[in-house]
Structures are given as structure tokens and as C-alpha cells.
Structure 1
């Protein structure tokens, strides 16, 4: 029986091969046209902000948009459901230490540097702006009893006494004036990595807020009145001779598996005017910055082909 079945299968295959010579040639052209129909129009939901948009995050279908002087909460169809004005602000209206000295006392725009979501204690949003001296504001969106709009329950987040003292390395000072990248890490507590750019000539004004760490891992205190570090090894900085004179810009951050990645733009060498991209990798589950890897990303183009090594015949 096995022999007969195999012979039948071979015979059927040969019949199909010989009966369809056209199948071995080119396929017939389809009778239906494949031209693109440009008359079809699609109506996609859109939202136009009054100010430049800088950050976008989502929580439970709601889209939160951070722009200059505004934070918008949008429905899934991108219609506006609420709005919070973050500026322009006077010096005594900002969070953090009030800058001293000159400045004219006029209002300043508040650029949205970072948006961080909270979904452990209460559903909330941290917005960190340039006018708030590195300190974030907390927007309680859902306290377990009622749902609030983005502009209803808002407060400066941090230890007020510590902010008044202007302590160096204050963990409540999250973002820097030159721009920051914040990456939230999913855990049983609220923690996030922050990379603060260092641009020569920026952030060195007299009376400015304490300079944040170049790279840090912040966590929310269980008392919910500010941020803290896991340990003194939860942050790192450029060496003192380079702070304020070395160009370092954090441009992107993302997760992949158990790792956290940041992309930076830095000089190729210490005194070089050429720049390249470097990728930074850490373990997302670490509480201290102890497995830090940094390497350059380069695209190399060459016309020379590598010569293949001749393999000796095996004996």
C-alpha cells in the first residue's frame, strides 16, 4: 500500500506539471485595473493647538498634549475636553525657588519640557515646564472617587521647605533649562529615568534654580510630597570641568525588553567640533546606575568588498 500511494502521488504531480505549461511561463495580466483611485478621501481626526506642541502622552484613551503655556486633554477623536494654562508666569507664580536678581519682573513663557504619567497611587500627570525652575506640577486626574479635568486638581509637586533652601542635587528638580528626556519605568512604584541636556551658555543665570543632575533615576516618595533618589548612586553628572562647557543633548528614549535606552548627540572628542550620536543602555529594573553602557552609532559606507578567505579543503 505504501508503494502504491507514493506512485499515485508522483503520477499526479507529473500530470499537473505536464498539463499546465502556461503555469511555467509568465502569469496573465489581471483584468482589473490596479491604478490608485485618487478620488477617495479620508477624514481623519485632527487637533490644532494655539501654541507649539512639545510632548504627547496617553492614558485610558485620553490624549494629553504639552505645548508652550498650555496642556490640553483630548478625547480619542481629538476633540478638546479640558485645558490648563501653564503660562506666561510671573516669578512669584512659578514652582520651585523664586529667582532673585534682575529679570524685569515680566511674564515668561513656560515651555513644556516633560510629561510623566502616574497610574499607581492616583491616576495623574506630572508636567514639568521651563518657567518652574525644574520642578513639576501634579495634575490629579482620578482620585478613585471622581474624575477631574486636567485643570481642576493642580499643585506644585515637591517638598516646599527643601525647595526654599535651594539644596544642590534636589530630587524635586527634575528637568533642566536646556531640555530633558524622561522615560517612565513600569514598576510597583513611580520611577523614571531623566537625561538632562548640557548646552554651553544655557542654565548658568544668577539666581536660577539648582542645576539638576545630568542623568538620574527619580522615584516618588511614599508620602506623595515629592521625589527622591534610591541612593547616592542613582544619579551621575559630567565632571566639573565639563559642566557648562560640554555639548550634550538627549534627543530620544525608549524601552526594549529589560533595557532602557537614551540617544544623545555629543562631540566626537573632547575639543572636537564634529558631533556624533551615541546610544546609552541601562537595565530598567536597576535602582542604581551601575550597569551603564554608552557607545557611538556610526554609518560607514565603502565601495571596497572584503576578500573572502579561501578555505582549505578538509582532509
Structure 2
């Protein structure tokens, strides 16, 4: 997980400055870095490491920090942790999710301690806590207690139909740990609303719950983002059989579709052809969405050089090993998703009677292999 965060930090600096050839500043953390986010308004960078959150300026100089662990905990005990939790011990806090909420000046911080609850801290000084509660129960558990379970998220909004209230929310995608709920994607409140608490799940949708197949498909989320009215999630999962290899998908739903009715998945393939063979890289490891430079844009999307491109790093297997970078124009992904939806509506099938919509992965011709 640490190398993905460092790669993200490099990408943030490179795309932000357009000068990757220049010597870059660096920041060293005392513990492993898990994730990195940037405030698009101020340029500040926020680093989530084990037991610490760091706030850096654009030159990677530390402005503020906050210790988030270790703390006394047991994943099988319901927080707050008391003397009744006899097996509690000091545990590291793996800061799994950071999200910048510029609208109200807060940083969402979700860690592995206390069943994955979150807190809000001040964007101007992360050592100033804006909201924290460990007494609201299971409905507010967001992240995962297990180190291997990744968590991604994206800020959005929720408009209630009956009173037209516009609520601040964030959508979360996470895999399944032994102490976690089976919700793969959930909608979480960022404010108190009626009898609902901050971080409470607002939507019950069977579309994005793993139960009763949590141990069969093993989702592994890597990135979430929104663009032009849509929200996207990138993840891999097993085929649901004895085959343990991972297959990568991109899922899309309309941002104003609060019940996930528009949720659609598309399989992504990444392969590199050599003189000897064609190598397929099936498990997504890291993702970044950006507009490419002029030269690269002419090669990938000559008809629309202003289109955004999904840069995704894939590996061959669970342990990493050989990897490849594949690039997907976002417009081509959207076009293929629309074809999937249309094919589903008209009931297209292949010769073996399988639905066409689930049998044609999306492939791009451009890839590079380190």
C-alpha cells in the first residue's frame, strides 16, 4: 500500500507542476505512508501514514501533524473501549482514507482503529479536531480494521426528495474484512440530519453489498473519482469460482442517483504484446485521472485532445511482480458503458447464450511494461 501512496504523491506533483524533469522536493515519514491527497484550492498536501496525519505545503514542508495512534483497541470489541474489553491492547492506526471537503474546510480521516470510525479535522491545521465520536455504534463504522482491506471515497451531495434538503455526503468503496459489514459501496453523511448521525450510512442498496458472497468474490478497491455528473470506482475481484486470480472492473453511477439504480460495471483488460508473447495484467494497483500532454493526447485521443485519460497500473498477480501501465480515454469508457446498458435493455446474447454485456471486456491498444 505504501508504494501506491508514494506514486500518487509523485503524480500529484508532476501533473500539478508540468515539470517532471525538475528536481522534486521530498517528505519522509517516520512510519509507512498509506495515502496522499491534495486540496485543489490551496495546493496543500495531506499524507496519511500509520499513526500520523501530516499537512504539507506545496514544497512538501510540514505545516501541521496529528498523532492518531497507537491506541488501546480490539477489533472484536465495540467502541468506546472500556475495561470490559479484556483483550484490548495498544494497536497501530492505519489511516486508510483521506478526503478533502473544501466546502466546509475539513479533512475526512478514516482509520483502522475502533471498527473503522472516522473523524473530521481542520484543513488549515490537522491537529485541530472538528468532529469525533466513538459512541454512535455500528451505523458509523466506515473503514476496515484489517490492514489488507483498502478503502476509497469521493465527496458528493444528497438531495432529499420530500424536503429538497441538500446534504453533504461521501461515497465509500471498501473490501470485506472479518470484522466488517458486507457493504461494498455506501453513502455516508457529513453532517447531522434529523435523527441521523455524522458518518451514518444513508442508503440500503443490494446492488453494492457482497453478502452472501463476501468470501467468494473478494473485492479490492483502488480508486474513486467523479467527473461530469458520474461517480466511478476502480476495483478488482475474483471470478467467484475456485479461480483465485483477480479481474479488474470500473463501475459507474450517476451522481444524482442516490439509490444506485444506474450502477453499471465494465471489465478492463490491460495487456502488452511482445515478439515472444502477449502478457495480460489483470489486477489494478493504482489509478490516476488527468488530461495528458499534447504529444500523448495526439496518440491516444486524436479526435478529442482535451479528453481526460485514466492512467492505471496493473500487476500480473496478487504479489505484484511484473506490472504494466494502461491508458483509457474516459470517453471510450463511457461509450462502452452506454453500449453495455443498451445491450442489457435489448437482451443481446452470444452463441453460448451468455449475456453479451458481461462477456466483452474493454481493451485499449496502448500500454507500457516496466
- Tell me the TM-score normalised to structure 1 length: 0.65
Work out which of the residue numbers 230, 236, 239 in structure 1 matches 2:211. 239
Contact 1:176 1:212 in 2 (8 A): no
| 2:128 alignment partner, SS class | coil
Structure with more relative contact order (C-alpha pairs < 8 Å, separation 6 or more): 1
1:115 and 2:101 matched: no
Greater Rg by CA = 1
Aligned-pair distance for 1:97?
Answer: 4.5
1:291 and 2:262 matched: yes
Aligned-pair distance for 1:291?
Answer: 0.8
Aligned-pair distance for 1:61?
Answer: 2.4
5+ long unaligned stretches in structure 1: 1-40, 142-147, 205-209, 304-315
List per-residue Cα deviations over 1:102-146 (Å, max 9, x = no partner).
Answer: 64x3311111110122233x31111101113111011134xxxxx
Tell me the residue number matched to 2:142: 174
Q: Separation in 2 of the partners of 1:268 and 1:96?
A: 35
Work out which of the residue numbers 252, 256, 264 in structure 1 matches 2:235. 264
Tell me the residue number matched to 2:352: none
Tell me the residue number matched to 2:121: 139
Contact 1:138 1:154 in 2 (8 A): yes
Aligned-pair distance for 1:271?
Answer: 2.8
List per-residue Cα deviations over 1:239-277 (Å, max 9, x = no partner).
Answer: 32x224532111222223222111111112433223211
Q: Separation in 2 of the partners of 1:301 and 1:45?
A: 33
Q: Which has the higher strand share?
A: 2
Work out which of the residue numbers 182, 188, 203 in structure 1 matches 2:178. 203
Q: Separation in 1 of the partners of 2:80 and 2:216?
A: 25
Q: Separation in 2 of the partners of 1:222 and 1:272?
A: 44
Cα RMSD of the aligned pairs, angstroms, is 3.1
List per-residue Cα deviations over 1:210-267 (Å, max 9, x = no partner).
Answer: 6262211222234595133444349731132x22453211122222322211111111
Q: Separation in 2 of the partners of 1:140 and 1:274?
A: 41
Tell me the residue number matched to 1:129: 111
Contact 2:170 2:190 in 1 (8 A): no
Tell me the residue number matched to 1:67: 49
| 2:250 alignment partner, SS class | strand
Contact 1:175 1:212 in 2 (8 A): no
Q: Separation in 2 of the partners of 1:231 and 1:186?
A: 13
List per-residue Cα deviations over 1:43-91 (Å, max 9, x = no partner).
Answer: 4322111111112122222211111111001122111111100111112
Aligned-pair distance for 1:287?
Answer: 1.4
- Tell me the TM-score normalised to structure 2 length: 0.56
